[in-house]
């Protein structure tokens, strides 16, 4: 179904190209594109190459969940022809930023068309049978509802946990990343039809790398023993990764980092780690490591390293691109779990 749709889209694009090619002149001016965070920014650069001028709002090691846009961000959005966002309520600050800008370009939701995982509330939803077929995925549309109540929710004693009905961390699935890439490619081709051939060529090379890495990670994880496949991270960012590769991720914090983990959640997690002998915990580049270190101390679990849930590292770090980030996370997990 997904493959079919992708083929259909590519075929449509080829037809559109064939029709457009004789009349559209080659443009040399790079298209100004804004990406909300570093992972999407990297994808846009891979696909757009020299034909795009990408501004990324939340940079390396930045936490998109709790980001506060700056006046410079509003200016960049005002000048953008294309604004590419994750959607699924990952960028809770986006509507206000757009309101504060003169943006009149194309707003593209990179997760458009994926089947998102449902938000998991506590431990009751451990069964994965819920697929939500037939739902309209209204959360996945760019919405202009203009409702901004709860703006100050991050400050109200940690009870303002802001999340949607779906888990936004879909880039943690390499197979879903192909949908991101397709949506970005289509958006760039529409904004700059003269260079669409290049975008589709870049897309093909990029998707081949994504699929090769997906196969490689399947192999890496396949070697792990069945009783060493549960790990603890700071927040619930790895459900898609866990589903793809058969790992279980537990976290004291929920889907967003904008609320504190409750003492009760932490106590329950520690209890579960002791009962199940969960021996590895991982800190995150975007989160304060202290809670995880405390949990590791109390349970005797080892800190297995640093995972990158939702932001790249800088160029000198271990995760300067999306693909290097995914490989780093997989090898870090495998090294800690395999020993
Ligand atoms: Zn997150």
103 CA from centroid of ligand 1 (Å): 26
89 CA from centroid of ligand 1 (Å): 11
319 CA from centroid of ligand 1 (Å): 16
Q: pLDDT truncated to tens, each residue of the chain (339 aa)?
A: 444 555 555 555 555 555 554 444 555 799 999 999 999 999 999 999 999 999 999 999 999 999 999 999 999 999 999 999 999 999 999 999 999 999 999 999 999 999 999 976 543 333 333 344 444 444 444 344 434 433 333 333 333 345 678 999 999 999 999 999 999 999 999 999 999 999 999 999 999 999 999 999 999 999 899 889 999 999 899 999 999 999 999 999 887 887 788 899 899 999 999 999 998 999 999 888 999 999 999 999 999 999 999 999 999 999 999 999 999 999 999 999 986
231 CA from centroid of ligand 1 (Å): 16
Residue 136: what pLDDT? 41
Q: What domains, with CATH codes, occur in the chain?
A: 2-210 (3.40.50.1980), 217-338 (3.40.50.1980)
182 CA from centroid of ligand 1 (Å): 23
203 CA from centroid of ligand 1 (Å): 26
Burial of 19 (0-12, 13-18, 19+ CB in 10 A): exposed
Q: 35 has which bridge partners? A: 56, 84
Length of the chain: 339
157 CA from centroid of ligand 1 (Å): 20
256 CA from centroid of ligand 1 (Å): 5
Residue 191: what pLDDT? 98
175 CA from centroid of ligand 1 (Å): 19
Q: Which two tokens stand for residue 75?
A: 């200016």
309 CA from centroid of ligand 1 (Å): 6
258 CA from centroid of ligand 1 (Å): 9
Q: Which two tokens stand for residue 107?
A: 């707003």
115 CA from centroid of ligand 1 (Å): 18
Residue 128: what pLDDT? 37
Neighbours of ion ligand 1 (CB under 5 A): 237, 310
Dihedral sign, Cα of residue 104, residue 109, residue 112, residue 115: negative
């Amino acid at each position: 179904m997904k493959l079919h749709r992708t083929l259909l889209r590519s075929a449509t694009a080829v037809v559109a190209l064939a029709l457009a090619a004789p009349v559209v002149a080659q443009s040399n001016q790079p298209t100004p594109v804004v990406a909300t965070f570093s992972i999407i920014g990297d994808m846009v650069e891979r696909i757009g190459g020299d034909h795009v001028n990408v501004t990324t709002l939340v940079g390396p090691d930045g936490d998109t969940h709790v980001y506060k846009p700056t006046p410079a961000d509003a200016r960049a959005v005002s000048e953008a022809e294309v604004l590419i966002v994750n959607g699924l309520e990952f960028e809770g600050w986006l509507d206000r930023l757009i309101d504060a800008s003169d943006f009149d370009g194309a707003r593209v939701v990179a997760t458009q068309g994926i089947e998102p995982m449902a938000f998991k509330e506590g431990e009751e939803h451990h069964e994965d049978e819920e697929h939500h077929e037939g739902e309209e995925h209204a959360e996945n549309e760019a919405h202009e509802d203009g409702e901004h109540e709860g703006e100050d929710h991050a400050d109200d004693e940690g009870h303002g946990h802001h999340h949607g009905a779906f888990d936004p961390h879909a880039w943690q699935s390499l197979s879903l990343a192909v949908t991101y890439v397709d949506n970005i490619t289509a958006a760039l081709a529409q904004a700059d039809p003269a260079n669409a051939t290049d975008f589709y060529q870049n897309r093909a090379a990029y998707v081949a790398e994504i699929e090769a890495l997906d196969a490689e990670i399947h192999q890496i994880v396949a070697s792990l023993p069945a009783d060493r496949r549960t790990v603890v991270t700071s927040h619930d960012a790895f459900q898609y990764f866990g589903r793809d590769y058969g790992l279980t991720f537990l976290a004291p914090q929920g889907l967003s980092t904008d609320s504190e983990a409750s003492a009760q959640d932490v106590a329950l997690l520690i209890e579960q780690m002791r009962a199940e002998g969960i021996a590895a915990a991982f800190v995150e580049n975007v989160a304060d490591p202290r809670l995880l270190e405390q949990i590791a101390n109390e349970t005797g679990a080892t800190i297995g390293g640093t995972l990158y849930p939702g932001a790249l590292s800088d160029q000198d770090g271990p995760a300067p691109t999306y693909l290097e980030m995914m490989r780093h996370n997989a090898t870090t997990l495998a090294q800690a779990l395999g020993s």
